[in-house]
Structure 1
Amino acid sequence: MGLFLIVFGIFLLVVLAMSVGFIVQQKSISGSCGGIASLGMDKACDCDEPCDDKKARMAKEEEWKKNQIH
């Protein structure tokens, strides 16, 4: 049981160190390939005109932001 607690404590320290390092660097999380930004795309779909579903979601989000309490 003592060995388990020692190993658990070490893992906990490693996770804590990684999280503090991530917070200090203030970088966004990216995949091993750099995400879609490395492909030269600014958004998830590379369409000039968004589809109707996307327009509806954007309108709902805009309405939510307008009604948001500051």
Structure 2
Amino acid sequence: MIYFIATFVVFLVVIVAMAIGYIVNKKTIGGSCGGLASVGIDKECDCPEPCDNRKKKNAEAERIAKLKSAEQIL
């Protein structure tokens, strides 16, 4: 039983340390192997054309960027 408690405490300490590290650095955990880009896939779905939802999001992002640049000029 002592091994179970010791192991649980060690895992708990590691999880708490990772949580504190995230809170302090505000940086997400990232992989080291490059993800999908390492196998030649540029985006998740690898579609030739983005879907309608993605087109809407891109258009909205462009509109917001234009508004922000217009505000900076004024």
TM-score normalised by structure 2 residue count: 0.47
TM-score normalised by structure 1 residue count: 0.49
Q: Which has the higher contact order (CA 8 A, sep 6+)?
A: 1
